[in-house]
Copies of this chain bind each other. A is one copy, B any other.
Amino acid sequence: MSCSLARTLGVIGDRWTPLVLRDIALGISRFDAIQRNLGVSRRVLTERLTALVDDEVVDRVTYQEHPPRYDYRLTQKGSELIVALLGLQAWGDRWMSDETGPPVLWRHLLCGQVSEPRVVCSCCGEPLRVGEAVPYLGPGASAGPGTTEVPAAIARLQALVGSGGEAQPPQT
Contact surface of A with B, Cβ cutoff 8 Å: 2-12, 15, 18-19, 22-23, 25-28, 33, 36-39, 74, 77, 79-98, 100-111, 113-142, 145-150, 153-154, 156-157, 161, 163, 167-172
The answer to whether A119 and B121 have CB atoms under 8 Å apart is no
The answer to whether B37 and A100 have CB atoms under 8 Å apart is no
Chain B residue with Cβ nearest A111: B124
Tell me whether A146 and B38 are in contact in the complex, defined as CB-CB below 8 angstroms, given that A119-B83, A130-B79 are known contacts.
Answer: yes
26 A-B pairs with CB atoms under 8 Å apart are A4-B102, A5-B85, A12-B88, A26-B154, A26-B157, A27-B157, A38-B146, A39-B145, A79-B131, A80-B91, A83-B91, A103-B137, A105-B135, A105-B170, A107-B134, A107-B135, A109-B133, A111-B126, A113-B123, A114-B168, A115-B123, A115-B133, A117-B121, A118-B120, A119-B119, A125-B125
